[in-house]
Structure 1
Amino acid sequence: MYKDSIQARREIARNFTALNYRVDPLHWQTLCMGVNRDLQAKKMRPNVPVPSRRKVIPFLKMMHQETGSMLKAILAFGFDGPWTSSGGSFRLAREIGFDIAHYAKNIHHKNGKVTFLEIGAAWAGFRAEECAGHQATISGLSGEFREQLGESVFLHFTNLTPWHASLPKGVTEHPYVTAAGLGALENRGVQAGEVDIIYSQAAAYFEQDYTAFLRSAARLLKEDGVLIFNHDPVLASAMDEVAWEHGLRLVRRKQMGGMNGAIARYHRLRSSPVSQMVFPGVKRAEDEEVVCESLVMSALRRNVEV
């Protein structure tokens, strides 16, 4: 695992250099921890409920069962840091009433093409049994669009380390790419302004440079494209301001608590300036109409006064 960790850090640093992106030491330390979590997760079955290390006996039993070695279980307890089982789904999107598969189908029907990007989706894995889960993961989404993959449907996902030796046509893994470094995808076949949906469950949560993340995501999204991710609730107001500056409007936010934090859904603004002048925090269409009407009336009053 040590050699893989070193390799991943080098590749991530190389991507940052290509983007002329400078990462501060604390942020880099967090990324290194993320790399180790990634490598640890590969050793376990998906969605294993790993007990807290505070519960010593249950933790050791679980790790012994998963790794097949008591020595590895003890090392995991004493030296490896917090363990995370692989997994991943579209659950967070469903929590805020957004069905990714249904939305993707509508976009494909309307435009004849759909591009989806998930940050950290490698954890979900592309396994035969996953495809049976229909649209629960990106793997299930690939099964739903099996006939259109590579022709009119393109699925991309990032991760801190590589997970798959082969993938279905039209599905592309982008290892060594962080949430803040999404700009690296523009050199890997993902064009700016071409992505319909960007989704992250947990991966963007640990991104400390949310300004770079939101800027890069906004650049990749189409007009009216959707960005869904979870984040630390404390950052909500600051994120909304940054998002607005880069052409993203908040549609909905839901507080989940715990490690899920808050789930946010942003849409990329259209070119029309008046119809899209919606302040961060607006959640409903009727609220948007009120805001726009208010802005127009204010402009008319200023003209009358002049």
Structure 2
Amino acid sequence: MFIAAARARKLILRNLEAIGYEPDEAAWRSIRMGVKRDLQAHRLRPNVPIPSRRNPVRYLKAMFRETGSIYDTLVSFLHDGTWTSSGGSFRLAEQLGFDLVHEANRRLQADGTLRYLEVGGGWAGLKSPASGSSRDIAGLAKHFERDLGQSVFLHFTNLTQWHADLPKGIFEHPYVTAAGLPVLDTQGIPPGTVGILYSQAAAYFETDVKSFLAAAAALLCPGGLLIFNLRPEYVGLVSDCAGTGGLTMRKSCDLGGMNGVVVAFEKQPSLKKGRAAVVDMTGMKSLRAKQYPAEKGRPYASNQR
């Protein structure tokens, strides 16, 4: 794992250098932990609930069941990072009332083409067969099977590489951080071409939310949909930055716990219309202040990937 982690960090830095981006100490520490979580999650099945190590018996049983190795189980128990499983479902979007399959259909019919981008896709539902009721990028791939590579293009980023081979029209972009999305311009995603940009957890762990929002806004086409979750202490920053990128908030939801605040933005055709985003987000900020007065300025901890 140590060699793989070192290689991933090196390639992440190479991608960041390509766009002239230098992460600060806090961002680099978060990236290092993210790489570690990615590599840990490679060993687990998608969407596996891992008990807290505060309950060692349950934790050890679960990890042994997943890894099949006493050594790996004991090492994971002594490891300084929290082991997590990956999945990549549309659950957060559905909490806001968005059916991404329906959204994708509508955009394809209106524009004649669809480019979907998921930040931090992990397994993305592609390494393990999705169930019939599963809503994830694999579900999109199945739904648009005949259009993949022609009018439908599905992309997802990761901090490490998860897939050696993917079907036509589906692309993984490894070693890419949420703030480092501009590098995708050199990997087949021109600015202004993404119809739906979604992140279930990667953006949540991004410390440079301002750079992520600017990059996401640049990638979205007019009318493009952006859905992601963020830590409560970043609500004010998102409010300040959204209008600058021409983003208008459509919906928000405070799920609490490790899911934080989930928001949906729409890219406007002109920056002038982006001012509405600031008004909407300010309202949400006031709501947060009333609900969680003690959290103001306090770091928001999470062990979810």
Q: TM-score, normalised by structure 2?
A: 0.89
Equivalence map 1:152-171=2 (5 Å):
152-171=151-170
1:174 corresponding residue in structure 2: 173
The gaps in structure 1 that reach 5 residues or longer are 284-306
2:146 corresponding residue in structure 1: 147
**Distance (Å, rounded) in 1 between the aligned partners of 2:117 and 2:49:** 27
> 1:81-104: per-residue Cα shift (whole Å, max 9, x none)?
100012120000000011111010
1:252–1:281 contact (8 Å) kept in structure 2: no
Give the RMSD, CA atoms, in angstroms: 1.5
Amino acid at match of 1:158: T
**Distance (Å, rounded) in 2 between the aligned partners of 1:232 and 1:121:** 19
> Is the aligned partner of 1:282 residue 2:280?
yes
> 1:195-220: per-residue Cα shift (whole Å, max 9, x none)?
00100001110000001100000000
Percent identity at matched positions? 46
Equivalence map 1:79-90=2 (5 Å):
79-90=79-90
**Distance (Å, rounded) in 2 between the aligned partners of 1:127 and 1:25:** 33
1:36 corresponding residue in structure 2: 36
Segment of structure 1 superposing worse, 263-272 or 174-183: 263-272
1:135–1:144 contact (8 Å) kept in structure 2: no
**Distance (Å, rounded) in 1 between the aligned partners of 2:205 and 2:190:** 25
1:66 CA drift (Å): 1.0
Amino acid at match of 1:67: T
* 1:70–1:272 CA distance, 2 compared to 1 (3 A): closer
**Distance (Å, rounded) in 1 between the aligned partners of 2:42 and 2:208:** 26
**Distance (Å, rounded) in 2 between the aligned partners of 1:104 and 1:78:** 44
Amino acid at match of 1:16: L
* 1:232–1:81 CA distance, 2 compared to 1 (3 A): same
The gaps in structure 2 that reach 5 residues or longer are 282-305
> Aligned with 1:282: secondary structure?
helix
1:271 CA drift (Å): 2.5
1:134 CA drift (Å): 5.8
* 1:99–1:71 CA distance, 2 compared to 1 (3 A): same
2:246–2:271 contact (8 Å) kept in structure 1: no
Aligned length: 281
Amino acid at match of 2:261: A
Amino acid at match of 2:218: R
Amino acid at match of 2:212: F
- List structure 1 runs of 4+ shifted beyond 2 angstroms: 122-125, 132-135, 279-283
> Aligned with 1:151: secondary structure?
coil
Amino acid at match of 2:89: S
Q: TM-score, normalised by structure 1?
A: 0.88
2:302 corresponding residue in structure 1: none
1:64 CA drift (Å): 1.2
Equivalence map 1:1-306=2 (5 Å):
1-127=1-127, 129-130=129-130, 132-133=131-132, 136-271=135-270, 273=272, 277-282=275-280
1:277 CA drift (Å): 4.5
> 1:123-162: per-residue Cα shift (whole Å, max 9, x none)?
33314621x4366010110000000000000000000001
1:16–1:181 contact (8 Å) kept in structure 2: yes
* 1:82–1:187 CA distance, 2 compared to 1 (3 A): same
Amino acid at match of 1:121: G
Segment of structure 1 superposing worse, 193-202 or 67-76: 67-76
1:71 CA drift (Å): 2.0
**Distance (Å, rounded) in 2 between the aligned partners of 1:134 and 1:226:** 23
